[in-house]
Structure 1
């Protein structure tokens, strides 16, 4: 699975690159963005830790890299930033050409079990198992030191994948995540398509349900979530209070910051991404 370099841009002493490769997990070509900080490009440099950022509905591998303004901080901290695409492209499923119907912009970071999505919509395998190995073979990334961060649908992905794969990721943070997808319209729509009508299968991909079922505290050093109070999706789709209650019930430390006057978009992300990267860096470097 050789990486094909599509573009490379000098950025804060490092390089913002975009790649394509033939994904075995997806069965389709997939794209991924990688920011390599200057520390990774120095001759003889050791591999650097990486933060996977999972983007939201209607986004691609380019969205966070272009809009978030995260590379300056990543360069300062010596962090690589990995931005996977949000779903398969060209999979030939219903709604793929729509803004969002299940295809194109709504992979939900899970492995679909229902036709026709089950053939290619295997985003969990792609993110957790495939991408770290492919990238580490060809780029100076230390995949023993990985963090997860995400926004909206990607915040759902970051929380659920971190809880479903204990020990794989050293830190998890999220911005305006979908916290209880089995209880809100976005999640009900996606889960009924990808996982079928049996709601008992949905809880395995619901961050709040996963947290409530933990036998021990999964992230003793804490989880960071930022949420804008002017976010139009807050009450109807995101429900951070449900995740907050699940964390409190098992004693999971959670820093949930609520911000007046901020909404769901990338100006909100720009306002807080530095805090998330510094949180991630502390965790990823704690054992180095």
Structure 2
């Protein structure tokens, strides 16, 4: 499915190692894809560690969460690896993909495109859930793929929640999100993305790519944590809609132990907010990844 995995760089951090890799991605139409992988101290072929995947937001790359999220120290202390994928294919050459900051490059929305214009390259759903784990396994990296969880920020929070809730294989044990786009079929960012990437637009997205729609019909046990800031301008503008997700979860019978949504007074949308609650999220996932 992929060509050779190439190590681009390596940095020691918290007695572990943050490694950047690149490879030619078949899922993304043959373009080079980068990702960062943090391996905690003690990870080895005889001591494979659980994997937490972090999905970044609009305009971000594989570096934002790794460099600014404050995740590495808590992950090292818990013996958890963190995978940081990119947010879209790069250099696909699709006409118009660089025209807007909130669509195209840097804005893959963690879906598989069905619009023929984008479907050869914009398949971040399969890239994250299938291709990257296969690359990691083939490369012999010390990861226990039977223990996976997922989290993310903004567009990546949308991705984390939808990949978790829509996975028929129950790939992830838990999900969390910072300021997620929680009901994207009801907000401008989501409407724009779905109208462009999907042949069926918003209606097609409801079945697989809207966390509020997914939780409203879910009957499976879930483990979800969401934080958002009350001073977040995107929250104020109606892009995030966490209340919609919370109401749908409660209406489906999920209590605060299964779905917890926390409003954080005075925090905005930035990595200052994310880093303030990074340890909470790592410890939340550790409860399930280390079980």
The CA RMSD over aligned residues, in Å, is: 1.3
Return the alpha-carbon distance in structure 2 between the equivalents of residues 197 and 23 of structure 1.
26
Return the alpha-carbon distance in structure 2 between the equivalents of residues 174 and 101 of structure 1.
19
Q: Contact (CA 8 Å) 1:94, 1:103: kept in 2 or not?
A: no
1:285 aligns with 2:290: yes
Select the structure that is richer in helix: 1
Alignment of 1:142-161 (within 5 A): 142-161=144-163
Q: Contact (CA 8 Å) 2:63, 2:84: kept in 1 or not?
A: yes
What is the match of residue 125 of structure 1? 126
Return the alpha-carbon distance in structure 2 between the equivalents of residues 282 and 67 of structure 1.
24
Return the alpha-carbon distance in structure 1 between the equivalents of residues 180 and 201 of structure 2.
23
What is the match of residue 210 of structure 2? 206
1:272 aligns with 2:288: no
TM-score norm. by structure 1 comes to: 0.94
Q: Show structure 1 runs of 5+ residues with no match.
A: none
Deviation at 1:133, TM superposition (A): 1.4
1:256 aligns with 2:261: yes
Q: Contact (CA 8 Å) 1:6, 1:20: kept in 2 or not?
A: yes
Deviation at 1:63, TM superposition (A): 0.7
What is the match of residue 225 of structure 2? 224
Give the one of 168, 172, 183 matched to 1:169: 172
Return the alpha-carbon distance in structure 1 between the equivalents of residues 234 and 95 of structure 2.
25
What is the match of residue 241 of structure 2? 239
Q: Show structure 2 runs of 5+ residues with no match.
A: none
Deviation at 1:54, TM superposition (A): 0.2
Deviations 1:106-136 (A, max 9, x none): 0000000003111100111111111111112
Return the alpha-carbon distance in structure 1 between the equivalents of residues 145 and 154 of structure 2.
24
What is the match of residue 184 of structure 2? 181
Deviations 1:134-184 (A, max 9, x none): 112221011110010000000000000111104110110111000000000
Return the alpha-carbon distance in structure 2 between the equivalents of residues 240 and 165 of structure 1.
21
